[in-house]
Structure 1
């Protein structure tokens, strides 16, 4: 059993991404995980540790920094105040940390101040900040879900490893799968899961695809308003425009454990981000594995990590081609959803569960430390 501090840029909440899933998987293995939320407001000098009712070894940590905006201060002063914040947190945790595992590119550049036996920096998105480089440099090992992201750290003389996104176990252990019913009478049902306020959403192509394919129902699963993954509502007007179309359905945010009951209802999935313009940022979206777990075809913008996996998805090198490719896939679903291709997608997803990714990460850690 290890005491692990997981530093996340996304707070604990209804919507789960990789940090949340890793925390749960670590707890399953008997570890005690302290999930450090982003800074809160109004807590004063107090640090709060909340134990989840259904998971005694997972503890959610909230705090307010002594000074907000540490990264804007001179380095010496920033380091001094950072050390005070870390000291406050460690005092309340009152344990010796075995691992500090940071997914946060902005906070706590000096991971060594947590006094843990091992330090991990895990980058799952592209970030444009010099602070991330400092955090990575202070780690013992660097992980990332994209080779293009790892390349950013090429000058750091530390072990660096690609570890793909993970798939939660409930997308596999679904023997009691209940097929929910969907509104709409369109013959083809297209699924989209994710944060609807994502800044790289290709609204122009998405609207074109939906408005030109009224025989298809488009089902959006995800928060449209402020949530634990994003406080912005930058696409509000766009989704108001979509809402009046007769083939658009918003299902709202759905807990991760319930997603398999919905995903099994779709004939195909659509990803429509500006991947052709933001190759590094779109290098490896985490929702793909959940889509692959159904076996159904995915039509997507360009995704660098999957450029060589022609059987898994249909990908547009240029987003201008997405509407044409959509028509091609919709009219050939028998081929793209053949049993052979469905098997390949499921096998790929099942080989990338969070349990298997954690096995891979643990084997790497053990090369450098004995916990």
Structure 2
């Protein structure tokens, strides 16, 4: 991978999520950039006060989190959005001028409430990087020099409007990368055990989880131990989620682990024999395209059984149901666990790990650097 553009740069990351949150792509990019650059991570402001502070969350990384306030009530965000954005612009412009002599790259990861455009940001290169598609997302580059996305649908929206948008896939984070390299180096490949263990990692109460299909798979495979990793918090007023929670907690072949730190999660996933993804699209906010979980699962070498993901429709390293045919997943799961030796062959394990390692965050950063060099 030929470029070292991201060396000794100052990078401003604008995120809709705070730093102290479940780590997702914004946080992982920040950590990866900070290995060789200075990174400033900026979330949304707090209200009803003034001032700001820079917090260093990890001593070993050259990364600071900017926490700032605006002296207005929170309701301004909903009732006077234009005024809200004006105060953010005025406040941030002053802070950035005080604290940073130079900003080389500004990346907006979809801060739709806070910014209409990046053109006022004091950076040489502006990047708009929407990760999730929404029905409200239009082909507006928000004043960016470069538009990136993990979504082919988003890229098509921009292309149809005559604006280039470059596909950059999800990244594999540091913990999973190190684990994958360890598997290869120490040859800790899959071997069959006494009990088949199926793993699912993620929020168990997101609106796009296909609960009926997942429940049926668990019920029809009593000889398989299903391990669920992820938050178990839910709205108790939601009848479907309340019933789902009761099922998970009272089914003998289900093990609930709750949320685990990535270092703990990757070690637990190593113990699995097979992985599951089970989503249902609404074709507004979720289009059955992609999932950041794919590379995490494949980095262990084990087979992944998934509902339809268009980006991986021709990928032989995972098994998928057809488009809009999630019910197929039950049969696919049953036939796969009967032939785990075949689906977890040494050759396939190595191919899955190789694909994941070709999509680490460091690899994606090199690809982004190459695109920036092309437009300069």
TM-score, length-scaled by structure 1:
0.86
1:120 corresponds to: 127
Choose which of 97, 121, 129 in structure 1 pairs with 2:103: 97
- State the distance in 1 between where 2:343 and 2:66 align: 45
Choose which of 227, 237, 255 in structure 2 pairs with 1:249: 255
Choose which of 152, 157, 160 in structure 2 pairs with 1:147: 152
Cα distance, 1:88 vs structure 2: 4.3
- State the distance in 1 between where 2:231 and 2:237 align: 10
Secondary structure of residue in 1 paired with 2:197: strand
Is the contact made by 2:56 and 2:65 (CA closer than 8 Å) also made in structure 1? yes
1:36 corresponds to: 42
Is the contact made by 1:105 and 1:127 (CA closer than 8 Å) also made in structure 2? no
Is the contact made by 1:312 and 1:341 (CA closer than 8 Å) also made in structure 2? no
Choose which of 297, 303, 320 in structure 2 pairs with 1:297: 303
1:60 corresponds to: 65
Cα distance, 1:126 vs structure 2: 1.2
Secondary structure of residue in 2 paired with 1:24: helix
Choose which of 33, 49, 53 in structure 2 pairs with 1:48: 53
Choose which of 149, 167, 174 in structure 1 pairs with 2:172: 167
1:302 to 1:53, Cα distance in 2 relative to 1, 3 A: closer
Secondary structure of residue in 1 paired with 2:289: coil
Deviations 1:172-226, CA, capped at 9 Å, x for gaps: 3237789xxxxxx972101111122311011111111112211111111112238
1:232 to 1:72, Cα distance in 2 relative to 1, 3 A: farther
Cα distance, 1:289 vs structure 2: 0.1
Is the contact made by 1:293 and 1:346 (CA closer than 8 Å) also made in structure 2? yes
2:273 is equivalent to residue 267 of structure 1 = yes
Cα distance, 1:159 vs structure 2: 3.5
1:197 corresponds to: 205
Alignment of 1:64-75 (within 5 A): 64-67=69-72, 68=74, 69-70=76-77, 73=80
Choose which of 214, 219, 225 in structure 1 pairs with 2:222: 214
1:349 corresponds to: 356
- State the distance in 2 between where 1:341 and 1:290 align: 15
Secondary structure of residue in 2 paired with 1:344: helix
- State the distance in 1 between where 2:250 and 2:367 align: 47
Deviations 1:38-75, CA, capped at 9 Å, x for gaps: 33355x12222211242351111223445545465475
1:26 corresponds to: 33
Number of equivalences? 354
1:181 corresponds to: none
- State the distance in 1 between where 2:163 and 2:302 align: 39
1:137 to 1:12, Cα distance in 2 relative to 1, 3 A: closer
TM-score, length-scaled by structure 2:
0.85
2:288 is equivalent to residue 282 of structure 1 = yes
- State the distance in 1 between where 2:319 and 2:70 align: 44
* Runs of 5+ consecutive residues of structure 2 not aligned to the other structure: 1-7, 187-192
1:323 corresponds to: 330
1:306 to 1:34, Cα distance in 2 relative to 1, 3 A: same
2:190 corresponds to: none
- State the distance in 1 between where 2:159 and 2:236 align: 33
Cα distance, 1:322 vs structure 2: 1.5
Deviations 1:62-118, CA, capped at 9 Å, x for gaps: 23445545465475x565334223324424543421111011241212211212111
* Runs of 5+ consecutive residues of structure 1 not aligned to the other structure: 179-184
- State the distance in 2 between where 1:74 and 1:346 align: 45
- State the distance in 1 between where 2:285 and 2:105 align: 32
